Amino acid sequence: MEPNPSSNNNTMMQQPGGGCIEISMEVHRVAPPPPRSTIQKLGSSLKETLFPDDPLRQFKGKSTKRKWILGAQYIFPVLCWAPNYTLSCFKSDIVAGLTIASLAIPQGISYAKLANLPPIVGLYSSFVPPIVYAVLGSSKDLAVGPVSIASLIMGSMLSVQVSPIKDSVLFLQLAFTSTFFAGLFQASLGILRLGFIIDFLSKATLIGFMAGAAIIVSLQQLKALLGIVHFTKEMGLVPVLSSVFHKTNEWSWQTIVMGFFFLVFLLGTRHVGTKKPRLFWISAGAPLVSVVISTLVVFAFKAQNHGISVIGNLQEGLNPPSWNMLHFHGSHIGLVIKTGFITGIISLTEGIAVARTFAAIRNYKVDGNKEMIAIGLMNMVGSSTSCYVTTGAFSRSAVNHNAGAKTAFSNIVMAITVMVTLLFLMPLFRYTPNVVLGAIIITAVVGLIDIPAAYQIWKVDKYDFLVTICAFFGVIFISVQEGLAIAVGLSIFKVLLQMTRPKTVVLGNIPGTDIYRNIHQYKDAVRVPGFLILSIEAAINFTNTTYLNERISRWIEDYQEEESSKHSCLRFLILELSAVSAIDTSGVSFLIELK
């Protein structure tokens, strides 16, 4: 017979210190949820899974005209800020755009070489993609362009099968095709509302991966800093160091002196900019100043004839179309899809993380799914205009933020500056030494090594620290993609472990209160004689019911062994399930069997 919803029952409970107290308990009947059809349940579940932000809510109760306006603003965020754009914002964006352009030009050339692509492609990638993002992106601070990690991954993965020197045209075609697939994956994640996939790259994974990649990128620049001509194509720590010390006869003291000078200069200006954000312009302009000074030195002293290698002639003009270079068939299709997926996920993770960071600082919201669509379409358009993978870089975005950017128009200013460079200034880079580009890359990636964050992970979670270490050593000793795969695999294994081995704890009473807490965490908590109170702190489903059955049985056996000497027997088993978010059919069967 079911109890009366408001009936009162009196129960005697023995206190931990002896004696009994009478507790009056009011029993309330659990009401079943309102009946819903299967279609309604499925629709509600899909809505909560794919549309937790309810993007259509803004259209409710609006006129047809207003709905069209809101729809256009949702697809093109530029329509949100452009109608209210002011002269004050224009001045701020001009300053910010010119500032990040001074950083983007030398970085674009450097990162293209890191990807084993012609230097001019790096400048192309700093022209078209920023314009596309300014129209489709929702971040006010994100500065778009090539980034070091994506450049390294693309260059290393494609060069495994195709030589960038012997088959330069094919390598360029594969790079553009990989960029197209990267953009396709990114846009698809946003359109299908599958952004949670990038969450599998945990903070612990990214910190270890970024630090390892920064080491590999820096080691690769030893070729330029030492003037070595014949350098290994492998990315691992051992092959690189072996190549360095086996080619000492190729070391150029002129190159080493120039590289050391500019590396110290760039690192010094970076330190000033980090310690004093108001002096951001020093670190932002240092790369361009280094390029100008080194180019003048090489030109004045004819240093290219004395062991210092230079970029050479760069093609003038704007981005040539490259849609005819996209190859969706042939023996390399698997390679470009794999490369596009990995570079797309990595660059997308970095771009969204940077956008959210500065949005939190300036107290505005960034829609992650819209950002995925914007970055994806930006790369798809870029692949057709001689660009490779681009995203929002932290260093460039930090300079953009500190320079006072108000809207995404600063990206357009940067693109116009790069356009002028492409049209009129390319001959000036003919004598730019490669050693300076190597110093610029090292200065840019050294900030990716975040030792305080790794130490914080060590203090909080040792397993996460293991993931960080595996990602770090996997990247520097095996390869970039294998190191990332190992770290992601360990992170997924941790999630599966938490699902299949949920935490169960014994609760005890805090004397003088009706509060029950973990007896192993709270020293004052004591067990109630005759009662075993267990808290299950995870969903109960088919993956963990067997474990829970065995673990609870062991709790019961342990209790009986401990209490047998006290002549106290177990009378009640109480399961505290407030932390259980869901129970499936296997979980229901488990509870019935346990009873």
Query: Which tens digit of pLDDT belongs to each residue from 501-549?
Result: 999 999 999 998 889 999 989 988 988 888 999 999 999 999 999 999 9
Q: In the structure encoding, which two tokens stand for residue 16, read together? A: 């931990």
Is the pLDDT assigned to residue 105 strictly greater than 80?
A: yes
- Please say if the pLDDT value at position 6 is more than 60: no
pLDDT of residue 11: 52
The token pair that represents 564 in the structure block: 């047998």
139-143, 233-237, 298-302: the lowest-pLDDT one:
233-237
Q: What domains lie within the chain, and their CATH numbers? A: 107-494 (no CATH), 502-594 (3.30.750.24)
Confidence of residue 203 (pLDDT cuts 50, 70, 90): confident
Q: 408 near 341, Cβ under 8 Å?
A: no
Query: pLDDT by residue (tens digit) across 57-101?
Result: 777 888 888 889 888 888 889 998 889 889 999 999 999 999 889
pLDDT at 3 over 50: no
Residue 277 has pLDDT above 90, yes or no: no
Q: What percent of the chain has pLDDT over 70?
A: 95
Q: What percent of the chain has pLDDT over 90?
A: 36
- Reduced to 3 states (helix: H, G, I; strand: E, B; else coil), residue 431 is coil
DSSP assigned state of 424: I
412 residue type, one letter: I
CB burial string 474-486: b at 16+ within 10 A, e below: bbbebbbbebbeb
Q: Could you tell me the strand order of the sheet in which 572-576 lies? A: 516-518, 504-509, 531-536, 572-576
Q: What is the pLDDT of residues 545-578, one digit of tens each?
A: 999 999 999 988 888 887 776 667 888 999 999 9
Predicted pLDDT at 186: 94
Residue 247 has pLDDT above 50, yes or no: yes
Mean pLDDT of all residues belonging to the chain = 86
Confidence of residue 202 (pLDDT cuts 50, 70, 90): confident
Task: Report residue 34's pLDDT band, with 50, 70 and 90 as the boundaries.
Answer: confident
Q: Is the pLDDT of residue 406 over 50?
A: yes
Least confident residue range of 133-142, 248-257, 339-348: 248-257
Rounded distance between C-alpha atoms, residue 389 and residue 332, angstroms: 18
pLDDT for residue 403 is more than 50? yes
Kindly tell me if the per-residue pLDDT of 53 is higher than 70.
Answer: no
Tokens of 413: 């200013």
Query: Who wins on pLDDT, 340 or 484?
Result: 340
The pLDDT of residue 196 is above 90: no
